[in-house]
Amino acid sequence: MTPAGAFAQKLGQPLKLKDAPSLITRTLRSAELAVIEARDDDPVQGLCGVLPADDAYLVSIKFRDYPDCECWERGRCVIKTDIHAGKTYLYDLKRDPRYVIDKPFHSLFFYLPRSALDDVARQAGAPLIGELAYRPGVGHDDTIVRHIGSSLGEALRRPDEANQLFVDHAMLAVTAHVAQTYGGLRRSAELCRGGLAPWQVKRACEKLESDLGGKISLDRIAAEFDLSVSHFSRAFRVSTGLPPHRWLLRQRVNTAKQLMGVRDLPLSEIAISAGFANQSHFTRVFSQTVGVSPAAWRREALGAPESDS
**Is the pLDDT score of 122 beyond 70?**
yes
**Cβ-contact 250, 214 below 8 angstroms:** no
Tell me the pLDDT band of 187, cut-offs 50, 70 and 90.
low
Using a CB cutoff of 8 Å and minimum separation of 24, what contacts does 239-247 make?
Answer: 239/195, 239/196, 239/200, 239/201, 240/201, 240/205, 243/169, 244/165, 244/169, 244/204, 244/208, 244/218, 245/163, 245/165, 245/166, 245/168, 245/169, 245/214, 247/205, 247/208
Residue 86, pLDDT score:
94
The whole domain housing 215 covers 189-245
In a domain, 80, yes or no: yes
pLDDT recorded at residue 25: 84
Average pLDDT across the chain, whole number: 85
Task: Examine the domain organization and report whether 70 and 161 are in the same domain.
Answer: yes
Q: Which pLDDT score is estimated for 104?
A: 95
pLDDT for res 29: 63
Could you tell me if 228 and 149 lie in one domain?
no
Confidence (pLDDT) at 188: 58
- The 10s digit of each residue's pLDDT in 5-40 is 677 777 888 888 888 888 888 766 667 888 999 999
Query: Any idea which of 75-84, 153-162, 169-178 has the lowest mean pLDDT?
Result: 153-162
Number of compact structural domains in the chain: 3
Position 91 scores a pLDDT of: 95
Same-domain status, 215 and 129: no
Question: Are 183 and 132 within 8 A, CB to CB?
Answer: yes
231 and 162 both lie in a single domain: no
In this structure, are 17 and 153 located in the same domain? Answer: yes
The pLDDT assigned to 163 comes to: 78
Q: Please indicate whether residue 194 or residue 151 has the higher confidence score (pLDDT).
A: 151
